[in-house]
Structure 1
Amino acid sequence: MNTPHITIIGSALSGNKGAAAMLESAIQTLSERLDNPRFTLFSMYPREDREQNPYENLDIVAADPKQLGVTINTLALVYRLLPPLRPLLRKKSKAIAALTSSQVLLDQGGITFTDGREKFLLYNVASILPALNTGTPVFKCAQAVGPFENPINRRAAKVFLPKARTLVTRGRITHEFAEGLGLTNLFAGADYAFSLEMDGDEAEAVSQHVDLSFFDDERDVVGVCPSVVLQKKVDARGGDYAGQIVSFVEDLRRQGKKVVLIPHSVRTGTEKTHNNDLPLCREIHAQLRIGDDLLFVDRELSSQQLRYLIGRCDLFVASRFHAMVSSLAMAVPTLVIGWSHKYREVLEMFELEEWAFGHDKLTPDYLSERFADLDAQRESVQARLDAHLPEVKARSARQADLIAEIVQGG
């Protein structure tokens, strides 16, 4: 057969390290299953992704929303409608060349076709439409979809989701939404980032930027991962998200715990807040008192380095979805403040759904109360993590088998 070639969209190396974890999990697992595969990433941040790309077999193609929605989609439609122009299009367009030489497109959008996120609906469609027009099978990696009560979202989902070769659902709630829509191209999986493996050099790499002796004494270390997405939702209803996190952190420190403040989504060199929690974390840190019981990770780290750092914590409080995935993957008891069913359905796999609550309930008192409960029950939480993690990781890795079967002509 031809050299295995896989095109990927919806993830990145820069910015959101959850997206990086999904991308790198795909590269790792498929490189184990296929003979010298090549990968092409359709990137929203091509310059940053090229600068951070450590993979010789990964090419980066520019695909910001305008390039994807207008240029790539138009060329793919022309490719479908005017066969005589296909050789020219493959020669002139890196995107068309990648799609037409790939055995599959992996859509790694973490949450798509979801009520309340209609402003992203065009992007959800634009991400897979070029592959549909070039005849490239679409594999939607583990993600959340639904609910589908909004007529516009429901109509779009009924048109486009059945066209995917496979849709991997990321939990029970998503699977039920998808079945309720009548979809049959489903596989009940787990987030691809659960398959991410560390290379063993993370401690050395992290130690160049972070004082790891912070973790060496007997005091509990609590990881806190804020999210600008949560900040916008809380502040929009008149709350003060940053102030609430400050209050919570200082309460932990009064209890004798140490706190590490970790941004899990960072874009170096910009103050823009899309996929960038660093400005928010700096705002929070500026309001905290200085002390040897506080560590602030004031920089961009790789997905593996962040996973290693999270794994050094005794307890974790997450607002970023993939920070939660990393803490669960490292078997760290975790409290989650979320905004969608996507958090709860993952925790359900560990019988730990009680440890997630919505941003609408967020107050300093409630957060401290729920954290105290987690602290008191950490042994039973730890036992459930240890019991269920092998099964969850196996469900995550199974999607790599399904992708490899498509690539190999299955």
Structure 2
Amino acid sequence: MSTPRITIIGSALSGNKGAAAMLESAVQTLTERLGDVEFTLLSMYPEEDRAQNPYPHLEVLAADPRTLGVTINVLALAHRLLPPLRPLLRRHPAIRALAGSDVLLDQGGITFTDGREKFLLYNVASILPALDLRVPVFKCAQAVGPFRNPINRVVSKVFLPRAHTLVTRGRITHEHAEGLGLTNLVAGADYAFSLAMDGTEEQALREAGVDLGFFEDGDVVGVCPSVVLQKKVDARNDDYEGQMVAFIERLRRHGKKVLLVPHSVRTGTGKTHNNDLPLCTRIQERLQPGEDLLFVDRELGSQQLRHLIGRCDLFVASRFHAMVSSLAMAVPTLVIGWSHKYREVLEMFELEEWAFGHDQLDPGYLWTRFEQLDERRDEVQAKLDAHLPEVRERSLQQADLIATLVRERSAARR
């Protein structure tokens, strides 16, 4: 029997560590279920991802926006329309990988949603080559909708029904998708909740120069800013960076130690796409130095980052997957978000009250909500402990579904 092949798009190893957690969760869980599997990652940052790739059975191929949108999509369409040319077209590594795959996993975190129409073409381009090559598209747990914008609604009604499976990441997404008339739905949880730790994280953090003694005494509050949120706050002529500086200093005046940690980092560049490090560096530079402040100024692996977040007593997140990591480590968390994707995950823990939108962010409101979280941390902790096993099980369910699909495809070829 031939070795199963799975192609993945929409995630990465470098940059956004939420994307890395989703990708690594897929590799871990599907290898456990299927044994030997050949994975291919269609990567927006192929050089960075190759440099960080620890998996000998994961091939990284270039799929930056131009390569994906033009080259891969055109060749996939030609493969569909011109059968005599298929041997020639399969010389392109991405076409060869896709055409030989049992399934394409689309791990885009939020797709086909109002307000993000500039990403709509990428959302389509990510799955269209697989559709042209007759490869099932499995959209891993993600947020979609709402679909009130006419352009988004029309495009979504054309392409989302063509996916084999769409795993919704929470109640709100599921209701949006049902409202569009979709029937290929599975209610799930973010794939990153399945990420397994291997026990080497603490040693790796020490080797990276992270002072783990920082967590040995005193209340530690993790703070994870986001350049995405900064752009939204600053667009209304407010000062997100200044608010984060003021909040951290207020925490310290009240006897809290602060871990300042970016959850999305691209080293060697000042570009801010998928990169919170420049923002966090500016925040750190405006803070008073002291032993009650620990700043992570480098890119860490997704497991190392999760272990670090798990050392905190409380956490304040703006990056979505920083929130997932803190919830997965059962750390009481306050969330400043920008879409329904935050609230619907917190709903699974009966903790949706601990999310608020960027439009509500001001120094007084942020501090009030944090004080409330601090006062009610035992209540929040109890809900995390009670619901986390169920959420992890919902996350793992998609691995079972993917493995079943791959086995069915393999059996059909025999």
**TM-score of Structure 1 vs Structure 2, range by shorter chain:** over 0.9
4+ residue stretches of structure 1 with deviation over 2 A? none
Q: In the aligned structure 2, how far is the partner of 1:265 from the partner of 1:302?
A: 11
Tell me the residue number matched to 1:166.
165
Question: What amino acid is aligned across from residue 49 of structure 1 in structure 2?
Answer: D
The residue number in structure 2 matching 1:50 is 50
What secondary structure, in the 3-state scheme, does the structure 1 residue paired with 2:40 have? strand
Task: Provide the rounded CA distance (Å) in 2 between the counterparts of 1:293 and 1:35.
Answer: 46
What residue number does 1:191 align with? 190
How many Å separate the matches in 1 of 2:203 and 2:386? 30
- Cα deviation, residue 89, structure 1: 1.1
Task: Find the aligned partners of 1:361 and 1:284 in 2 and give their Cα distance.
Answer: 21
CA distance in 2, matches of 1:299, 1:30: 30
Gaps of at least 5 residues in structure 1 are none
Alignment of 1:76-225 (within 5 A): 76-90=76-90, 92-208=91-207, 209-217=209-217, 219-225=218-224
C-alpha RMSD of matched pairs (Å): 0.5
Task: Please give the alpha-carbon distance, in whole angstroms, between the structure 2 residues aligned to 1:381 and 1:2.
Answer: 48
- Give me the whole-angstrom Cα distance separating, in 2, the residues matched to 1:221 and 1:207: 18
Task: Say whether 1:255 aligns with 2:243.
Answer: no
How many Å apart are 1:402 and its aligned residue? 0.3
SS in structure 1 opposite 2:373?
helix
Are 1:314 and 2:316 an aligned pair?
no
1:353-409 superposed Cα distances (whole Å, 9 cap, x missing partner): 000000000011110100000000000000000000000000000000000011001
Give the corresponding residue for 1:338.
337
State the secondary structure of the residue aligned to 1:168: strand
Q: What CA distance in whole angstroms lies between the structure 2 residues aligned with 1:207 and 1:105? A: 37
1:298-349 per-position Cα deviation (integer Å, ceiling 9, x unaligned) = 0000000000000000000000000000000000000000000000000000
Distance of 1:85 and 1:7 partners within structure 2: 22
TM-score (norm 1): 0.99
Name the counterpart of 1:273.
272
In the TM superposition, what is the alpha-carbon distance from 1:280 to its structure 2 partner?
0.1
> Residue deviations 1:145-170, cap 9 Å, x none?
00000000000000000000000000
Percent identity, aligned pairs only, is 77
SS state of the match for residue 408, structure 2? Answer: coil
- Structure 2 CA distance for aligned equivalents of residues 318 and 142 of structure 1: 20
TM-score normalised by structure 2 residue count: 0.98
In the other structure, the counterpart of 1:363 is 362
Q: Which runs of 5+ in 2 are unaligned?
A: 410-414
The aligned residue for residue 9 of structure 1 is 9
Q: What is the match of residue 40 of structure 2?
A: 40
Tell me the residue number matched to 2:23: 23
Cα drift, residue 129 of structure 1: 0.1
Number of aligned residue pairs:
408
Amino acid corresponding to residue 339 of structure 2 in structure 1: S
Quote the Cα distance in structure 1 between the aligned partners of 2:376 and 2:211. 29
Structure 2 CA distance, aligned partners of 1:257 and 1:375?
11
Equivalent-residue separation in structure 2 for 1:46 and 1:175 (angstroms): 33
2: CA distance, partners of 1:181 / 1:29: 31
Q: Give the 3-state SS of the residue equivalent to 2:210 in structure 1.
A: coil
Looking at structure 2, the residues matched to 389 and 86 of structure 1 have their Cα atoms a distance apart, in angstroms, of: 47
- Shift of residue 35 of structure 1? 2.3
In the alignment, the residues of structure 2 paired with residue 167 and residue 93 of structure 1 have an alpha-carbon distance, to the nearest angstrom, of 28
Measured in 2, the distance between the counterparts of 1:384 and 1:85 equals: 58
Q: Distance between the aligned counterparts of 1:166 and 1:2, measured in 2? A: 24
Q: What is the CA–CA distance in structure 2 between the aligned matches of 1:176 and 1:341, rounded to whole Å? A: 12
Q: Which amino acid is 2:70 matched to? A: V
